[in-house]
Amino acid sequence: MKLRNEARTAAQVAAILFVVAAPLLFTATAFTEGAENAATAADPAALHWAVIAAAISVGLGCLGAAFAVAYVGAAAVAAVAEKPELAGRTLIFVGLAEGIAIYGLIIAIMILGKV
């Protein structure tokens, strides 16, 4: 039963990520339509794939961070329930797990900065 709930939750997260990333996938070429000089405009195909890559890096980074925070946060709450003096130390581990999403965002910014 627990495995089915986790699979359902993962499917819901994937659906939400798709709904959020889908507009980026279909409007990638809209950025180059207003360019006055075609020589300086980015290749529409390259821009399309760059936006897809950025969306994937942010999406998977946030998905990984969500799973990490879920497991680390549950373990941290259990540890604090047994020993309340560990509360400060457990926040460090939860913060490290949240850093995964920030790494995905940084990679997306680097990808879009090259286009």
pTM over 0.85: no
Domains: count for the chain: 1
Model confidence pLDDT, tens digit, residues 15-51 = 565 555 555 555 554 555 554 444 455 688 889 999 9
> Which pLDDT score, from 0 to 100, does residue 14 have?
59
Sequence-separated (6 or more) residues with CB below 8 Å from residue 30:
none
> Which pLDDT score, from 0 to 100, does residue 114 have?
85
Residue 107's domain comprises: 2-32+41-114
The CATH number given to whatever domain includes residue 70 is 1.20.20.10
Contact indicator for 105, 63 with CB cutoff of 8 Å: no
Residue that wins the pLDDT comparison between 103 and 8: 103
Residue 87 has pLDDT above 70, yes or no: yes
d(CA 11, CA 102): 22
DSSP code string of 4-42? HHHHHHHHHHHHHHHHHHHHHHHSGGGGTTT-S-TTTSP
